[in-house]
Each structure stands twice: as structure tokens, then as C-alpha cells.
Amino acid sequence: MGCRDAPARSGAVRGPSVRGPWWDRSMSSPPRPTSPPEGSPPEASAPRLVLDRTAPLAVDAPGLDREQQQVVAHRRGPMLVLAGPGTGKTTTLVEAMVARLEGEDPLRPEQVLGLTFGRKAAQEWRERVTARVGGGVVPMVSTFHSFAYALVRSHADPQAFAEPLRLLSGPEQELRLRELLTNSVLDGRLAWPPELRAALGTAGIAGEVRAVVAKARALGMDPLDLEAVAAHAGPLGPAWRSVGQFLGEYLDVLDAQGVTDYTEVVHRAALLTHDPVVQRALRSQYRAIFVDEYQDTDPAQVRLLQGLVGPSASFIVVGDPDQSIYTFRGADTGGILGFRDVFAAADGTAAATVVLRTTRRFGPVIGDAAARVLRTASLAPLPADIVRAHRSPAFVGARYGDGVVDVTTFDSESAEAAHIADALRRAHLEQGLRWEEMAVLVRSGRRSIPPLRRALISAGVPVEVAGDELPLQEEPAVAPLLAILSAVIDPAALSDEMVHELLLSPLADADPADIRRLGRVLRRLERESEPQGRPTPSSTLLTRLVAELAADPSAILPFAPSSSGSLGRDARAHVALEAARRLGRLLHDARAVVADLGSAEEVLWSVWSGCAVRGGSGWPQRLEAAALRGGDAGRRADAALDAVLALFAAAERVEERYSGHRGVANFLAELRAQQIPADTLAEKGVRGPAVRLLTAHRAKGLQWRLVVVACVQEGVWPDIRRRGSLLQADRLERSGLVDAPPAVELLAEERRLFFVACTRAQERLLVTAVASTLADGPTSSRFLEDLVGMGRTEPRHLSGRPARPLSVPGLIAGLRAVAVDPARPPALREAAVRRLAVLAHASAEDGHRLVPQAHPDRWWGLLAPTSATVSVRPEDRPLEFSGSQLSTFTGCPLKWFLGHEVKAEVARTTAVGFGSIVHVLADAVAREVLPADLEVLDGHIDQVWGQLGFEALWESTAERRLVRDAVRRYLHWHLSRPERTFVASEHAFDVSVDIGEHGVHLRGSFDRVELDPQGAVHIADLKTQKAKVGKVDLAQHPQMGVYQVAVREGALDSLPQQVRSDLGLPEVGDPPEVGGAELVLLRLGKGEAPEIQSQPSIGPGVTWVDEALGAAESLVRQEHFPARPGSSCRTCDFTRLCPTKGTGTEVLP
């Protein structure tokens, strides 16, 4: 990766045929083209750029207070400027820099240098100086890392590297460390302690080693220094010795590959500034040096400045020790607190100190509340009078008055998020605040940002979240692209689950219902072609279909789309078939690019451009159209496009960083191995009107009219856990390992972070937390007590959620409630209807309805019940039923419809696996494949038990004992039936019953078929349920009855003739006598024997089973599926949808 703020290397830009117009998106604001215009080359849509040479008008100088004027007038020697929040430090720096370019003894622009942290801060500083001087050449304003990089580059041996030195991003460095750590173990190069060896490839250990490496280089230590530290490190000695040796290898690898990391480049720049020749040149060049955010410097940056600043130079640093919040990045508060002595004046006295005492950002209410958080935090060795002046600013000219501070607690995190959304919407709608004038700040991005983002979006609040808060592979828009790349390079990776996800993704854009319909059609076609074959799951058939189309997109489809009309209720299966064809073609084309040795970027472009559909319905076109329309959908589209762009940029960097070709497999492995977010120094600008949602660390230097500081719970904020617990990098100093930072020091930084968050507010500060009433629930942070302080701000607790969301859906709900309420006055109801009509007819310029849900046609409960255009079951074919289906249907037709037809059942549970194991073993024993030996069967159980996926070990242990008991009972039952003759086990049947116009088809299998001494057939059904069937229900148990009917209708006719003769069964077509059926309850029973529940023979003629089948057939043909409350309701998956239950009742008549 190239250095930030450094010019791009030559030859890095490829032609548009590779990159495509998506690249334009990184060069201009939305909308951007996302696919090439038809009939024209990609570059045809590029804008024509013309350099505007008009000189900008100079901006007038702002008014400065007395302290600011002191800083501007400074001409020689060091000066420390303490600037609290809102005191105008940036303005002071700009005016001080401009003053050195004008007036008495002016300096040339190249003699003036400005250093800060973050590209945005550097850019703003540079632009403001340019505006003040009216254009032209301006001084260099750069980040520390950019300056250090340029310095190292300028003094590098031009023959040392074939390509310029490149900077690793944070994720890249972490990945490189993990690879080197793993290889050091595999190669046996380093003698790592045994307790570390197995974990060296993990992200946790890599993070610990990364922290040690960064701290060591910031302190100017080399590998030998770390090994010396190890000699006096006690129990940590072996680990530190290995880390020291690893540091040497790590630095060698960086040099060999021509790359470096952020800490290393500053360390090497600091070494250069202390080289006599280089130092003399630098000091003669830079006569005025300005540093912003000095409290964020680390020891290496201080050393760099010590070598850079000459005794005759003007050296002004601006900072605030109360805003030092980046210790985890190596920042050292001691840098600013010790500045007066480290950079003493030429005469040996302490450096001059100026305190900016006028705060203009906020008024005294916000300022006093924030100051109470700091309380008596020490700023030693700064003199007491300077500390007092710094912490007691004057509040002058605040644009929004004295300010407002609200502290509110809630019952739960979801309630907190709902109330925050409500507060933001009310501020926008009632007080007129623009969305971009508000922000929500949190302590932990990973913990708090995702749920808050979901809650705000669902409430209609536009949200902007920094693109690098999460690793790139966790971005929703990136996930399907990474998945398809995996399938491109490894066809074996195309699992059933992946195919399902890809079909549902925007790449194929299939509908879940259509996919299920296609699966049913594929199963039906398989049964027709292989009637005696073992049924294949529909997911596997779909995977086979996609794999065949990926191998040959022109392959013959299993059925023609034109014939879909003959598919009955599966008529839309061809829609999913077309989606499968699109997915197959994407895979085929991408694999062709890989076969031609294409780069990861080229393979990605093949997939992305392949999604574009003529007519504008593809994923890229949909994103572009949404971005053009704006609103919430536009912001989501922009976020998705940004994530896709970042993925393309990452693929491009792979080709730029390494010599030779890196394949897609390596790119995927590297990207997925990156487990930390990208560097925040590369943050992009915010787009459009939206509420910012970000961490308090990222909010540094920003301000908004309304700031919500959220999730201020004890244990979340403050978070006083040590960041490194294994290698303890925070103990490292030049002298060796010192005592670990005490908790009071960690708490002090958390206070500073909370202070920074609170001081981002200009007009209103809202601090929220969860304060549960439960004994073990979350409690509000101790910081809230400090913020409230002496009763100046009254905290309040809000129970529950907002009564009605202040959003368009909430407004519609309120108007509808009034309109249909007969208790309301007619005039009020009529007014509500008129307002609903206005909303329903509101349209955008392109004609689409803005609020379609306001129209009665979109309201549930008001339209007449609809009839399906396709029958639930084909009207001209027999109705298919199994015994278990009839049992479910008889109990509750609605449950049968939702579970069997809609396929809405929940995922399989471990209870299903329990029963499957027992049935497989029982079948094997009955057919004498396995012996009737409990220990042998127990061994087979052990082989598969781990695949059931129990959530807890205790549950697995308990169920394992019960399955052994069930098998024991089965063996006892199996071996104690001398009067019965075994006929078959797991015997499949397929018979027809003459019921209704087209008959009923019965399909299923018998667990066990036996003959009694009189030659009557008995069916045994093995059950692992936990309760007995009631006596009344047993007599007419539908499943047992279906089994008896199946025997009567010839279910045993498929037995071989020799077996039938040996058993004395009647000839085919002559039904045998049915002796009855029985349930064998293997979980229940006394002693070794299972519980047996017998159902008598149904007898000849029309039976209750025939009547039950007829009733079911009639209801299915009528497509009438009523809900029937009963005992099965306790375990029903659809209780929340059931109209007979409170959770499923209709809200409108």
C-alpha cells in the first residue's frame, strides 16, 4: 500500500477495460455510472476535466483574543499552547502560520512546516491557510506519518529497491505478523515457549506481538534491547526473548519486501533527523514548525521533533492533555506534560506557555457539566496556575446560548435505542436541526454501533457510519462477492448452503419462495426419472444444477421455461431457474478469467459487470438508481457501493504490493485473515444529510449541535480492562519492564474520553444509559453521577419504549387508529382520512409514490381474502399423504399447511437426530446387519453423537445416557417376541385409496412389520417421544390407522414372491388380515421393557381412517385450513401466527 499523502507511483493505473467505470466513483460524488453504456467504450462517460486557474479571493483575518494574539506574535523558540475544546486552536495555528509568511521578516513557504494527525485535519489546515493567503504556494501541512515517509523516501538508496517503499495498513501488518508467527513455529526458526506455540497464529497473539513491536520501536528499541529486557523479565523472560528474536526477523522481512509499517517509518525518520548531515539540512530548511494535537504524540514522534527543531527556529505546539485518548495507539501524555522541560528555551528556562481561555463552541451549562467529569485529574508537572487557567475557560459568544444537558436512563438497550431515534427525529422535525447537525457517540464500536444503526434505520433516521468501523469482509455488500470468488477458485466450496445464499444474494436475485418451488420441481423430476431411487434433498439438487450450469451455461435445462404452465402450483419455478442460470454464468465467466491468469481485480470486474442486466434491472443498476433517488435507500446504496469500491481497491493493492501475479486464492486468504478494521487515518468524507454514528475516539476534533452519548453503562464506559494481558506491552519502557499501569490511570483515560465525547456538543448534550431494575442487570456508569454533580442536572428514567414513533409509519398508524375508531368524533375521523389521502397521493418527480403504505389498498385486514391462481395441490392428480401428515392434518389443518406446504417449519432439533439414530440402529439389528449387542451399538452411537450439535455439554451428556436407554429397551423388546415372525424393517409403501374424485395416494414406510401366530399382519412404529398417547386418541390414531389401511391396500405386495411364500402371505392382490398396530415408546417404560400402546384392527369396509382421509381430501381441495386448538399447541412452531392464540389474533376485524 502506498504512503498516505504521497503521490501515486507511476504505472499503477490500468486501462478502463480492466477497472471499468466503477473507478469513477472514487473520483467524483454520486451518482456514478456502475456499468458501461451500451454501444460505447467505458471511458466515454468520463467527465471532461478543466483546470480552473482563477486565483481564489483571500479570506479576511478573523478576530483574535489576547491569548491567540500572543501565539501569532511568537517568533523564536518553543511555545506550548494549551487549547481546550472550542477555544479556536485551528484558527490560532492558521493565523500563526500566515503571520510567518507575511509582515516583518517573512519566511518562504518551504521554510514553514505544519504537522498533525489525520489526513482530514491536515487537509483542512492546508485549505484554510490557502484561503487566507489567496492561493499560490503554501507551506507543507502533513501528517506525522506522511512527513516521516517522505523523509525516509528522500534519503533512501535509489538502488535498494526496484519499487518505492510501501506502507502497510493496519490490517495488512496484522496479517503479516500472523503469517510470520505461524511460519516461525512450522519452520522451527524461533524457540517459542510451549505455552505460546500453539496459539501463535491466532489474532489475539498477533495483536499482543504487534503491540510489543509498536511500543519497542516507538521507544527506539531494537531486537537486542528486547532480549536484554527478557533477561530481567522473570516469568515473562522466555516469551520476551522470543519476541526480541521475532522482531529482528520481522524487520528483515519488511526490508526484503520493500514495505514498512507506521511505527517503523517514524522510527527511521527520527533516526535520520539525528544524523548530523541530515539534521543540519533540515534545521536550515524549516525555520517555523507548528504541531497540532501534540497530546497524541508518541516517544518516536517526540524524538523526530527533537532532531528537526533547531535552537533558532520558532516551534509552536498546540494540544490539550485532557483530550489525550489514544494511549492504545502509543500516544504518551507525558509528551505534552513534559514539553516545557524537553524543549526548554535557549537559556535553559521552561518553554513559554500560553493558555487559550475563551470557549466559543458551547455555553457554560455544557462546559461545566463536562468539566465535572475530569474532577481533580492531575496534570503534573504543569504548574497549578496554568492548570487552573486551562480548566476554567470563559464562555464567550457561543452561537447556541448556554446549552442544555439531559441525562436519561432506560430499562433495556432496545428501549434506549428507540428513545434515541425518537429524540433525533423530534430534534429534526420539531426544532429544525438538520440530520448532519446531530451525532451519536459510543465507547465501543463493535458492541454498540450495529444495534444502534439497525434501530435508527428502522425508525427512519438516516445514518452515516464510517466505512472502516468493521473489517471489509464483514460488509454486507462484500459478502456475496467473496462467496462467489471462493466458488470460482474452488468448485468443491460450492456447498448447498453457499448456493442457497448466492441465489438469494443480489448476484442472482432469486426469491426464497421461488427457490423452494424450484426445489420441489427438481425432486418431482428426479422421482419420475428414478422411481425406486433414494430421494435427494432439494438443496443438493439445486447445487448440482448450478454446478452443471457453471461448467456449461448452454447446458440443457431440466425443464423449459415455456412449459412452466404445466407445473401447476410451481409455475414460478422457472423464475428461480433463470436465477440459477445467471449464477452459473457468473461462475463460468469468472473461472474463465482465472484460467487466463487474470488478477483478483479482473475476476471481480467479471462478476460485477456480469450482474448488469440489459434494461437496468441488475444489481449495479439498482444501486445506481437508488443512489440517484437519495433518501434512506440512497444512503444504503451509497454504503454498498463504497464497500464494493473498497473491495476493488483491496484487490488492486494486492497486485501493486507484490512482485508478480497473486491469484484470487491468495487475495481471499489475505482479506479474510484481516480481523481488524482499516486505519482510521484513511477515513472518507461524510456524504449527504445523515446522523453520524461513531465512536468517541473518532469524534475527536468534530462538533455537532446535538450530541447523544449513548450506552454509558458501568463496565462499558469506563472500560478499565488492560489491553494486553499476556505479553504486557504496556509495561515496557527503555529501562525494562515496569509496573503495570494502575487502575486509576486507566480510569483517568476513560474520563478523558468521556470528556471528549461530551464536549463535541454545541447546543444540546444527551447522555443515555441502561439502568435495569433487575438485581443482575446493567447499571448506569459512575460518570453520570459526575456529570449530574450537585443537582445541577436532574437525571430521569424513562420506562418502556416511545408511545408512537415519530416517523411516517408511526404517523400512518396514528391516523389509521383515529380513522377506524367509532368512539372518535366524526369530524376528527374525517380529518384523519383526508390526511391519509394526502400522504397516499404524494409522489416524487419520477412518479413513484412516496408513502404507498398510506393507501387502504396496502392495509392488512381490509381487503377481501384472496384466492391463489394456482391450486395448493394439482386438481387433476391424486392427493398425496403420509401417515404422519394425516396425523398432523387431523390435529390442525393450519399447522399441516404451514409446515408441509409453506415449508415454514423451524430448523431440525437434536430430538430429530436422537430419533434418527435409534431408528437406524433398530433397522440394522432387525435385518441382522448389526448384532443385538448393546455395547456394539453404543460404539456406533459414539461415532455420530458429536454431529448433533447440542448447545451445552450437560444437555449432550444427559441425552447420550437417554439414547443408550432407548436402545436397551429396543433390544429387550426385539429379543422378547418369540410369538411374532419378523417380516420387514423400514419397508417403504406406495398405495392408492379410492377416496374423492381422484383418489388419495399414501406413501411412507413401516418401522417394522410382523406376523402373529394366526398370520395376521401387525405394524410396529418406534417412537422416541416423551409422552404417551391418550387412550381416546390411541383408538383413532391417524398414523397407525394409515398404516393399517396401507396394508389392506397392498403395501406388502412389493415383497419378493419367495418371501411371501415362506411367510404364508396371500397372493398379490389378495389383502392379508390386519391384526392391528402398536406404538413402541422407547423413552418410556418400566425397567428394561418399553411402553407399548396397541391399536386394534380397523376391520373391513369403510373405516374411520377412510373417513379421516376423505375429510382431509375435501379440505385440501377447498383450500380451507382452519386452526384447531389441542394438546399439540404446546409444541407448535406457529403459535405466533395462530388466530386462536393471543399472539396471532387479527388486529382489525
- The distance of Cα 664 from the centroid of its chain, to the nearest Å, equals 23
- Give me the pLDDT at residue 925, please: 92
Of the pLDDT bands very low, low, confident and very high (cuts 50, 70, 90), residue 676 is very low
Could you tell me the CA-to-CA distances from 373 to 376, 751, 788 in Å, in that order? Answer: 9, 6, 9
Return phi, psi of residue 142, to 5°: -145, 165
**Phi then psi dihedrals of residue 91, to 5 deg:** -60, -40
Spatial CA neighbour of 410 closest among 452, 465, 446: 452
What does the pLDDT read at residue 115? 97
Measured in whole angstroms, the distance separating CA 1014 from the mean position of its chain's CA atoms is 67
Q: Is the peptide bond before 381 cis (omega within 30 degrees of 0)?
A: yes
If DSSP codes are grouped into helix, strand and coil, which group holds residue 504? helix
E-strand ranges in 904-1052 read 981-993, 1000-1011, 1017-1023
Residue 412 dihedral angles phi and psi, to the nearest 5° = -150, 170
Across 35-49, 423-437, 510-524, which has the greatest mean pLDDT?
423-437
Is the torsion defined by CA of 1135, 1138, 1140, 1145 positive or negative?
Answer: positive
User: For the chain, first and last CA: distance in Å?
Assistant: 63
Q: Give dist(CA 437, CA 1077) in Å, integer.
A: 74
The C-alpha atoms of residue 889 and residue 1042 are separated, in whole angstroms, by: 13
pLDDT at 491: 86
Q: What is the DSSP letter of 86?
A: T
- What pLDDT score does 54 carry? 67
Average confidence (pLDDT) over 470-487: 82
Q: What length is written for the chain? A: 1149
Q: pLDDT confidence of 27, banded at 50, 70, 90?
A: very low
Confidence at residue 160, expressed as pLDDT on a 0 to 100 scale:
60
Q: pLDDT tens digit string along 198-235?
A: 788 777 888 888 899 999 999 999 999 999 999 988 88
pLDDT at 659: 39
The angle at the Cα of 967, spanning 962 to 972, to the nearest 5 degrees, equals: 125
Cell of 415: 428501549
Q: Are 157 and 278 in contact (CB under 8 A)?
A: no
C-beta of residue 190 within 8 angstroms of C-beta of residue 242: yes
Query: How much is the pLDDT for 176?
Result: 82
pLDDT higher than 60, residue 837: yes
pLDDT for 631? 66
Quick: pLDDT tens for 146-191: 999 999 998 887 766 557 788 887 777 887 888 888 888 888 888 8
Say how many C-beta atoms besides its own lie within 10 A of residue 947's C-beta: 8
Mean pLDDT of 372-394: 90
Mean pLDDT of 698-724: 90
Of 35-49, 103-117, 263-277, 801-815, give the lowest mean pLDDT range.
35-49
Residue 994 has pLDDT above 90, yes or no: no
Choice among 93-102, 341-350, 835-844, 1067-1076 with the minimum mean pLDDT: 1067-1076
Phi (first) and psi of residue 399, to 5 degrees: -65, -30
d(Cα 280, Cα 313) in Å, to the nearest integer?
13
Lowest-confidence segment of 309-318, 449-458, 726-735, 909-918 by average pLDDT: 909-918
pLDDT of the residue at 660: 36
| 1038 prior amide bond cis, ω within 30 | no
Mean pLDDT for 766-784 is 86
Q: Which residue has the higher pLDDT, 524 or 676?
A: 524
Q: How far is residue 182's CA from residue 351's CA, in Å, rounded to a whole number?
A: 49
pLDDT at residue 202 in the model = 78
Confidence of residue 44 (pLDDT cuts 50, 70, 90): very low
Q: What is the pLDDT of residue 26?
A: 30
pLDDT-based confidence at 241, cuts 50/70/90? very high
For residue 328, the model assigns a pLDDT of 83
Q: CA-to-CA distance for 440 and 161, rounded, in angstroms?
A: 46
Q: What H or E segment, with its residue span, contains residue 737?
A: strand 736-737
What secondary structure letter does DSSP report for 854? G
Does residue 1084 surpass a pLDDT of 60? yes
**Across the strands, what pairs with 1004?**
989
Summarize the confidence of residues 637-658 as an average pLDDT: 76
User: What mean pLDDT is predicted for residues 354-369?
Assistant: 94
Q: From CA 1106, how far away is CA 468, in angstroms rounded? A: 65
Q: Whole-angstrom Cα distance, residue 656 to residue 312? A: 43
Contact 964, 921 (CB under 8 A): no
pLDDT reported for residue 654: 67
- Percentage of the chain lying above the pLDDT 70 cut: 87
What pLDDT sits at residue 793? 66
Q: Is the pLDDT of residue 561 over 60?
A: no
pLDDT of residue 1145: 47
Q: What are the E-state strand segments in 331-475?
A: 352-356, 358-359, 394-395, 404-410, 438-442, 463-465
Q: Please determine, for residue 625, whether its predicted confidence score (pLDDT) is greater than 50.
A: yes
**Nearest CA to 206 among 236, 227, 175?**
175
Reference 465, options 640, 327, 620, 701; nearest CA is 640
Q: Which amino acid would we find at residue 340?
A: R
Cis (ω within 30 of 0) for the bond into 856? no
**370-390 average pLDDT score:** 90
> Which among 69-78, 778-787, 1126-1135 has the top mean pLDDT?
69-78
Would strands 1074-1081 and 1091-1095 be described as parallel, antiparallel, or unpaired?
antiparallel
Instruction: Evaluate whether 200 touches 181 at the Cβ level (below 8 Å).
Output: yes
Tally Cβ neighbours within 10 Å of residue 964.
14
3-class DSSP state for residue 990? strand
For residue 268, what are the CA distances in angstroms to 141, 151, 293, 296, 308?
20, 9, 22, 19, 13
Residue 245: predicted pLDDT: 93
CA separation for the pair 226, 230 (Å, rounded): 6
Can you tell me the distance from the alpha carbon of 539 to that of 494, in angstroms, rounded to the nearest whole number? 12
DSSP symbol at 766 = E
- Which of 70-84, 562-576, 933-947 comes out lowest in average pLDDT? 562-576
- In the beta sheet, which residues pair with residue 766? 406, 708
Whether 591 contacts 488, CB under 8 Å: yes
pLDDT tens readout for residues 50-79: 766 666 666 788 899 999 999 999 999 999
Match 495483536 to its residue by C-alpha cell.
207
**306-333 pLDDT, tens digit each:** 999 999 999 999 999 999 999 888 889 9
DSSP letters along 433-447, please? --GGGEEEEES-HHH
How many helices (H) and strands (E) the chain has is answered by: 41, 25
CA angle 816/820/823 to nearest 5° reads 125
Triad 342, 344, 349: Cα angle to 5°: 135
* Mean pLDDT computed over every residue of the chain: 84
Beta pairing partners, 1021: 1079
DSSP string computed for 10-63? TT-PPPHHHH-GGGGGGTSPSP---SPPTTS-GGGGPPPP----PPPPPPPPPP
Is the predicted pLDDT of residue 380 greater than 80, yes or no? Answer: yes
Q: Which ranges of 438-537 does DSSP label H, i.e. alpha helix?
A: 445-458, 479-489, 496-504, 512-529
Q: Which residue has the higher pLDDT, 10 or 968?
A: 968
Q: Rounded mean pLDDT of 507-536?
A: 81
- How far is the C-alpha of 930 from the C-alpha of 14, rounded, in Å? 66
Q: String of b and e for 528-562 (b: at least 16 CB within 10 Å)?
A: eeeeeeeeeebbebbbbbbbbbbeeeeeeebbeee
Residues 669, 692: Cα–Cα separation, whole Å: 32
- 808 vs 818: CA distance, rounded Å: 15
